[in-house]
Chain A
Amino acid sequence: MVEKEKITEVVLGCIADFNVLNGTSIIADINTVLFGMGSELDSIDFVSLIVAIEDKICYEYGVVISLTSEKAMSKKNSPFRTIGTLVDYISELV
């Protein structure tokens, strides 16, 4: 069982890497919106970030997870909506 704090660190680290790679300055905290209204990411950025997080979880913790969800595109219930909801979702999977 991986602690939520550690998953949060992984997600924040991926966003920091993303900022460096793409010259962006997304300020990341648990309320940062990743998907839908208020997100600074376009669709390609968004899927790239999710894949990077998936990868990092695999490397750091040896857990092969698949960050997919039937509710991915739901405006209200998407687990990808904010960093906080994403961390909650990942902690259910690992």
Chain B
Amino acid sequence: MIIVITGTRKGIGRYLAEHYLGQGHNVIGCSRDTTTLSHSKYYHYYMDVSDEKDVRKMFFGIKKNFGSIDVLINNAGVASMNHSFLMHIKTIYDIIDTNIVGTFLCSREAAKIMKDKKRGKIINFTSFAVPFKLEGEAVYAASKAAVITLTEVLSKEYAPFGITVNAVAPAATKTDLVKNVPENTMNNLLKRQTIHRYCEFHEIVNVIDFFINNDMITGETVYMGGI
């Protein structure tokens, strides 16, 4: 398969890239910074997912070099835990640009390529911050709520082209997004989940594989850990 994953420099994106490379797939990744990931089947673009020109160029390059895309995983995301009184406007735009605009642009450009083969899977990342109405995550949660809506609407727009669009909302996971969140805040969060523990990366892969292997599921969000 040809799998495009955004935000592969670290965290879940990096894990996903290594996982699918390990299975013998071609993986095209991207990030705003340099990557140390090196593999004969890995291709990296340095770009910003919210820059329309960059995104167009990347997907045009993918079409030229690979001819098609089987799976797009919109993993790139940013978060900033802060009371709304203290949230800087630049941070607000950064969250909106990466999480909403980036997901939209990459989905659109991937779907244009997928539609030629009348098949494709788009998997977005949303968050438990949406159903939990997480304090201190107003803009992040709003952006991830938008990702759910994008997932639902795009699933309808792309269904005639044989493309499914779904979203996974991992439970609390040990990534950079939560590294600055105080321990007791995270513990309280784990208590609110139905399953009171951190989510493991391989468990997220299971949900993504479920979407990849299922042609009859679209417009859905899977909340991991129970809400």
Contacts and interface: CB of A to CB of B under 8 A. Distances in A.
Given A51-B112, A51-B115, A44 B57 contact: no
B60 interface: yes
Nearest to B112: A51
A66 B51 CA distance: 12
Interface string A52-86: 00110010000011100000000000000000000
A64 B60 contact: yes
Contact of A66 (B52, B160, B161): B52
A57 B112 CA distance: 15
A55 B115 CA distance: 13
A43 to B, nearest CB: 9
B83 interface: no
Interface residues of A, number: 9
B160 A64 contact: no
A62 to B, nearest CB: 10
B56 interface: yes
B158 to A, nearest CB: 10
B112 A64 contact: no
Q: How large is the interface on B (under 10, 10 to 19, 20 to 34, 35 or more residues)?
A: 10 to 19
A64 B53 contact: yes
Contacts of A24: none
A70 to B, nearest CB: 14
Nearest to A54: B112
A48 B162 CA distance: 13
Contacts of A65: 56
Contacts of B160: 44
B17 to A, nearest CB: 25
Nearest to A48: B115
A93 B112 CA distance: 20
Contacts of B161: 44
Contacts of B53: 64, 66
Contacts of A54: 112
B51 to A, nearest CB: 11
17 contacts: A44-B160, A44-B161, A48-B115, A51-B112, A51-B115, A54-B112, A55-B63, A55-B112, A58-B60, A64-B53, A64-B56, A64-B57, A64-B60, A65-B56, A66-B52, A66-B53, A66-B56
Interface of A: 44, 48, 51, 54-55, 58, 64-66
CB-based closest 6 A-B pairs: A51-B112, A64-B56, A44-B160, A64-B57, A64-B60, A58-B60
